């Protein structure tokens, strides 16, 4: 790992790990055997391992099934809007007010496909109005989530019963999403929601996540650390994209992936974050193995 963690950092007690582009490998979007072993070894060493992802819970938890991980493992999902355990216990949940979501529909419709996430029992968790356009933009995501999708046109009608969504997202080309982000910042709605972006330069794809006010991975991680009684200096965050920046800033030990965009890797140098190997080189496993070794060494020195 470039810039190995220095001794000035205390042993890690809590680590938050992004999924796409970080924990998951690119080709099969799965947790590699080495990373699975490292996750389990970290838990066995007394480190609380948390997942921190833009994915919703139902799209995240199945990727961790069968890895032998603890049921009380925290999952920070929907970019911090929902925090649950792997076993299903709800720790916290926030919603985007339906009137804000309705306004966002009109504001952002010219720029790309919008999707809103709900927590529902009997119908689609995901609502959009143009399935064909979504297929053109994010076809793999559509296929993986097809059973949870409901088409509502116009999209504003999805909020007629006053049910608040967990989050929204708008996706399209990087150019259009930067325009959408600028339009939102210039709008009164910018004071009523959070907007975080994810960019995939190789695919010319960007996603703007539209979140309840005050919600981010960083805020969720801070609250989780307080709940667990873990000092900020003992918290590590590992990520690869713009929606990880807030948790990387908050954590006492930030780690950027080697596959992150150059702009983010430059930011990492400025902020003093370490750089891990890429996701396809098991970068998360490399970081966790070093963290576990440090925990074991610290425990031996205490004895």
Structural domain includes residue 7: no
| CB neighbour list of residue 267: distance below 8 Å, 6 or more residues apart | 245, 256, 273
Say what the pTM is: 0.92
Structural domain includes residue 179: yes
Give the pLDDT of residue 244.
98
Same domain, yes or no, for 206 and 102? yes
| CB neighbour list of residue 195: distance below 8 Å, 6 or more residues apart | 181, 184, 185, 208, 209, 210, 211
Walking along the chain (303 residues) 10 residues at a time, the average pLDDT comes out as 57 97 91 97 98 93 95 97 96 96 97 92 82 86 89 94 92 96 97 95 93 97 98 98 97 98 96 97 98 91 79
Same domain, yes or no, for 227 and 240? yes
d(CA 272, CA 254): 8
Give the pLDDT of residue 121.
59
Evaluate whether 252 touches 9 at the Cβ level (below 8 Å).
yes
Query: For the chain, how are helix, strand and coil distributed in percent, rounded to 5?
Result: 45, 25, 30
Angle of CA points 179, 185, 189, to nearest 5°:
120
- Identify the domain containing residue 57 by its residue range: 14-94+216-302
Structural domain includes residue 145: yes
Same domain, yes or no, for 142 and 165? yes
């Amino acid at each position: 790992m470039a810039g190995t963690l220095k001794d000035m950092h205390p042993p890690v007690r809590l680590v938050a790990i992004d999924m796409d582009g970080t924990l998951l490998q690119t080709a099969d979007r799965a947790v590699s055997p080495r990373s699975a072993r490292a996750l389990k070894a970290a838990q066995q060493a007394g480190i609380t391992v948390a997942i921190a992802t833009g994915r919703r819970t139902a799209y995240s938890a199945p990727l961790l099934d069968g890895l032998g991980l603890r049921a009380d493992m925290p999952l920070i999902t929907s970019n911090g809007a929902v925090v649950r355990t792997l076993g299903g216990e709800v720790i916290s949940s926030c919603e985007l007010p339906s009137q804000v979501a309705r306004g966002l529909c009109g504001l952002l419709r010219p720029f790309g496909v919008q999707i809103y996430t709900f927590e529902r029992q009997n119908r689609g968790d995901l609502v959009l109005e143009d399935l064909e356009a979504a297929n053109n933009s994010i076809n793999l995501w559509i296929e993986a989530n097809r059973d949870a999708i409901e088409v509502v046109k116009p999209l504003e009608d999805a909020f007629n019963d006053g049910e608040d969504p967990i989050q929204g997202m708008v996706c399209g080309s990087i150019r259009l999403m930067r325009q959408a982000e600028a339009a939102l910042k210039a709008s009164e709605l910018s004071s009523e929601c959070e907007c975080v972006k994810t960019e995939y330069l190789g695919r010319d794809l960007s996603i703007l996540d539209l979140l309840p006010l005050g919600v981010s991975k960083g805020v969720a991680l801070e609250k989780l650390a307080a709940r667990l009684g873990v000092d900020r200096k003992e918290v590590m965050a590992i990520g690869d994209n713009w929606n990880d920046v807030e948790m990387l800033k908050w954590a006492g030990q930030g780690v950027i992936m080697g596959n992150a965009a150059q702009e983010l890797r430059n930011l990492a140098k400025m902020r003093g974050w370490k750089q891990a190997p890429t996701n396809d080189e098991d970068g998360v496993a490399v970081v966790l193995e070093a963290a576990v070794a440090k925990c074991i060494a610290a425990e031996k020195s205490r004895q």
